[in-house]
Amino acid sequence: MSPTSVAGSIAAAASSARNEQREALEFVLVQGAAGRIAEAPQAAEKIAEGIKAVLDALHPLPGAKPATPPYPDLEQAIQAHADVAPRVTPADIEAEIVSEHYFTAANGAREGLYGNHQIGTQSARSLALLTFCVLVLRNGFTGTGESACVSPENFNAEIGRQVARENAVEKLWPLLGFRLRDRLAGAAAVADSIRAGIAAAE
């Protein structure tokens, strides 16, 4: 197979994977919005526009021009087009964090009790390029993120901490999303039970 054919096959596979990711996300978003649309059919067009805006921002269609909405970030796009039902917001994430702690792998290795190698000069330099962030949440749970720098010349401690924190926060989204979905499902189950009780009594 020629290099051109190989490149074409790789590009086709990547495009197919992107399409599958978009379809999977679209399915989740539509399923999540179905209940809201059933309750407020008049909001269907706005919800559909919001779903498309989120899809285009996260998984644009192959060949599509980059979206240039009048919103500098995704959160503003969501607020404008898809903020019609309960959801997790950046403010919700920040409200859960009670403290944050940063250290490098070199800090941890020096304080650690375990390890099967002496920390030589080369190891110390490498470990110093790996930054960790630990976020302590209100319920006592901890979230972690990390940032690794390839070239020592590019290492910046502040940027390392910022990237590590962003990665730690990213891991909190599905946790709070699950909690909110669980609460909504529980409330819906209670409402269904009450309606069933009322219907039985009539």
CA dihedral 186, 190, 196, 198 (to 10 degrees): -160
Does residue 164 have a pLDDT over 80? yes
Tell me the per-residue pLDDT of 108-127, one tens digit each, with 9 for 90 and over.
888 765 665 666 667 788 89
Same domain, 80 and 8: yes
Q: Domain of residue 46: give its range.
A: 3-85
Tally of residues, the chain: 202
108 lies in some domain: yes
Tell me the per-residue pLDDT of 30-74, one tens digit each, with 9 for 90 and over.
777 776 667 667 777 777 777 777 777 766 766 665 544 444 566
Domain end (from 50, 85, 120): 85
In angstroms, rounded to a whole number, what is the distance separating the alpha carbons of residues 56 and 65?
10
Same domain, 147 and 97: yes
Residues 6 or more apart whose CB falls under 8 angstroms from that of 66 comprise: 60
Domain end (from 62, 85, 108): 85
Confidence class of residue 131 from pLDDT cuts 50, 70 and 90?
very high
Per the model's pLDDT, the better-predicted residue between 83 and 26 turns out to be 26
Does residue 179 have a pLDDT over 60? yes
Residues 6 or more apart whose CB falls under 8 angstroms from that of 38 comprise: none
Structural domains in the chain (count): 2
pLDDT at residue 159, rounded to an integer: 93
Same domain, 49 and 113: no
pLDDT at residue 22, rounded to an integer: 72
Same domain, 73 and 107: no
CB hemisphere CA count around 100 (13 angstroms): 19
pLDDT at residue 72, rounded to an integer: 53
- Residues above pLDDT 90, as percent of the chain: 30
Alpha helices for the chain (secondary structure H): 3-39, 44-58, 74-81, 90-96, 105-111, 121-127, 157-201
CB hemisphere CA count around 156 (13 angstroms): 5
pLDDT at residue 7, rounded to an integer: 44
CB < 8 Å & 24+ apart, contacts of 84-92 = 84/36, 84/40, 84/43, 84/46, 84/47, 84/50, 85/32, 85/33, 85/35, 85/36, 86/180, 86/184, 87/180, 88/173, 88/176, 88/177, 88/180, 92/176
Tell me the per-residue pLDDT of 8-31, one tens digit each, with 9 for 90 and over.
554 554 455 566 777 777 777 777
DSSP state at residue 70: S
Tell me the per-residue pLDDT of 182-198, one tens digit each, with 9 for 90 and over.
888 877 777 777 777 77
Lowest mean per-residue pLDDT among 39-48, 129-138, 171-180: 39-48
